[in-house]
Copies of this chain bind each other. A is one copy, B any other.
Amino acid sequence: MIISMKLHSTQAEVAAVCERIEHFGYKIHTIEGAERVVIAVIGVGDVTPCLESLEAMPQVEKAVRITAPYKFVSKEYKKGRTRIQVNGLEIGGDEFIVMAGPCSVESEKQIMESAEAVAAAGANILRGGAFKPRTSPYDFQGMAEEGLKLLRKAREATGLAIVTEVMSDADVPLVAEYADILQIGARNMQNFSLLKSLGKAGRPILLKRGLSSTIKELLMSAEYIVAHGNKDVMLCERGIRTFETVTRNTCDIVAVPVLHEMTHLPVILDPSHATGKRSLVAALSRAAVAIGADGLIVEIHPCPEKAVSDGAQSLHIPDFEKMMRSLQPYVELWKQARMTEAPVAV
Contact = CB atoms under 8 A, between A and B. Distances in A.
Contacts of A150: none
Interface string A211-241: 1101111001001100110000000000011
Nearest to A139: B48
Nearest to A195: B137
Given A242-B243, A243-B214, A279 B261 contact: yes
Contact of A46 (B138, B282, B286): B138
A57 B305 contact: yes
A314 interface: yes
Interface in A114-143: 133-141
A324 interface: no
Copies in the complex: 4
A308 to B, nearest CB: 7
Size bracket, chain A contacts: 35 or more
Nearest to A239: B254
Interface of A is mostly: mixed
Nearest to A185: B190
Interface in A136-190: 136-141, 167-171, 187-188, 190
Q: Which 8 A-B pairs have the closest CB atoms?
A: A56-B311, A212-B212, A168-B193, A290-B290, A287-B287, A187-B190, A55-B312, A287-B291
Interface of A: 2, 4, 7, 20, 29, 31-36, 38, 40, 42-44, 46, 48-49, 52-58, 61-62, 64, 66-67, 69-70, 76, 133-141, 167-171, 187-188, 190-194, 196, 211-212, 214-217, 220, 223-224, 227-228, 240-247, 250-258, 261, 274-275, 278-280, 282-284, 286-292, 304-312, 314, 329-330, 333, 344-346
